[in-house]
């Protein structure tokens, strides 16, 4: 009996040891370490801190089973090479804006910003409930990339200029940093468009390499110190009624994750999508006050003829993009149909409320 008990104890110990070994192996296999490359300076307010929040949330929610190292623009790859890095598997994940890939995927510009198009609230509605996300993923699918919307800027400012703009004629010959469809519109208004990542804007504006720039809004523009390089700050940001930021994931990397980690990643991205917009809404007011009252920035509204011409040319640019290929047409049809519907409702909801709240209209400094 003692011999049998000893044999049973040895067998049980072996089984427990084997189970622990298998469990340890499973845990090791269930642990993932990713790299995320971004188009923003490391830890830059708002858009740059969104990826940091995302990585922290994923780590906490997964209890360390999925960890993500975040790299700012230029730390691992240049800011404009994020898409290629994720597509090729150099990094599992990226955070950027889709209009940076217009040379590779022209139709992707619809998902970032459309001049005189939908704002952040409307874009989120289209993406999540109007078929927009399905179309966005359809565009990226040939590149082995999955996309999730991961933040929004809200309505941006019109940009910084080193001279006063009193008419369309004053734009002629200026060199300006402005990406996407808005940049093409400005080009047709006589502006020479220069593309560069955010980290290069200040030195280019200060040195005179460019005469004007748009970036995001007061919160970020203050952080970059753009008031030190240009005196005139224009609104409204007709070119970017919002920019929707993207989290892109290498498809093979996503498929390698178990279902629960995929769900955790998607939930964290959804959190960041809202929190980035909330932060801009909260911070822009105070930042604009600082720019005007402490740094003597001249805040001005674009002249009516500039806005009218920009709207006319925007319709041309967007229509031409829609006609460029069947996929672009498919996206444009979905986008414009949704915008028409949401504009009709917002005319008697959001817009009507704003008009009632501020019946005297635009009372900002001019």
Would residue 190 be called left, alpha or beta, if left means φ above 0 and alpha means ψ between -120 and 50 degrees?
left
Q: Which helix (H) or strand (E) holds 293?
A: helix 259-295
Nearest to 132 by CA among 116, 143, 148, 154: 148
Is the domain spanning 159-241+283-325 CATH 3.10.20.30? The answer is no
CATH numeric code, 28-152+243-281:
3.40.190.170
b/e 111-145 (16+ beta carbons within 10 angstroms → b): bbbbbbbbbbebbbebbeebbbbebbeebbeebbb
Q: Are 151 and 273 in contact (CB under 8 A)?
A: yes
pLDDT tens for the chain, 366 residues long, are 455 544 444 444 444 444 344 444 444 448 999 999 999 999 999 999 999 999 999 999 999 999 999 999 999 999 999 999 999 999 999 999 999 999 999 999 999 999 999 999 999 999 999 999 999 999 999 999 999 999 999 999 999 999 999 999 999 999 999 999 999 999 999 999 998 888 899 999 999 999 999 999 999 999 999 999 999 999 999 999 999 999 999 999 999 999 999 999 999 999 999 999 999 999 999 999 999 999 999 999 999 999 999 999 999 999 999 999 999 999 999 999 999 999 999 999 999 999 999 997 665 545
pTM to 2 decimals? Answer: 0.89
CA distance 154 to 340: 19
């Amino acid at each position: 009996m003692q011999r049998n008990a000893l044999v049973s104890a040895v067998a049980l110990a072996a089984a427990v040891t084997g189970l622990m070994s298998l469990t340890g192996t499973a845990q090791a296999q269930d642990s993932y370490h990713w790299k995320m490359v971004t188009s923003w300076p490391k830890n830059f307010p708002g858009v740059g801190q969104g990826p940091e929040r995302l990585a922290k949330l994923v780590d906490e929610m997964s209890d360390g089973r999925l960890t993500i190292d975040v790299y700012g623009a230029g730390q691992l790859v240049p800011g404009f090479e994020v898409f290629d890095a994720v597509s090729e598997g150099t990094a599992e994940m990226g955070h950027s804006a889709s209009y940076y890939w217009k040379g590779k995927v022209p139709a992707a510009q619809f998902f970032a910003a459309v001049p005189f198009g939908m704002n952040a609230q409307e874009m989120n509605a289209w993406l999540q409930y109007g078929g927009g996300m399905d179309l966005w993923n359809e565009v990226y699918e040939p590149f082995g990339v999955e996309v999730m919307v991961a933040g929004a800027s809200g309505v941006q400012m019109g940009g910084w200029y080193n001279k006063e703009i009193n008419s369309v004629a004053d734009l002629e010959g200026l060199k300006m940093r402005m990406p996407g469809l808005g940049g093409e519109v400005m080009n047709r208004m006589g502006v020479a468009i220069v593309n560069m990542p955010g980290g290069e804007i200040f030195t280019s504006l200060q040195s005179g390499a460019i005469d004007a720039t748009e970036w995001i809004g007061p919160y970020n523009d203050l952080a970059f110190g753009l008031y030190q390089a240009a005196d005139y700050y224009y609104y409204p940001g007709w070119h970017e009624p919002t920019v929707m930021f993207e989290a892109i994931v290498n498809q093979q990397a996503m498929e390698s994750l178990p279902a629960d980690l995929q769900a955790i990643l998607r939930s964290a991205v959804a959190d960041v999508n809202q929190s980035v917009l909330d932060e801009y809404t909260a911070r822009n007011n105070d930042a604009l006050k600082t720019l005007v009252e402490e740094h003597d920035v001249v805040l001005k509204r674009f002249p009516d003829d500039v806005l009218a011409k920009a709207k006319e040319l925007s319709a041309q640019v967007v229509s031409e993009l829609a006609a460029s290929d069947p996929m672009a047409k498919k996206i444009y049809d979905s986008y414009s149909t949704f915008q028409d519907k949401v504009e009709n409702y917002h005319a008697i909801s959001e817009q009507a409320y704003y008009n009632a709240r501020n019946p005297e209209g635009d009372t900002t400094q001019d």
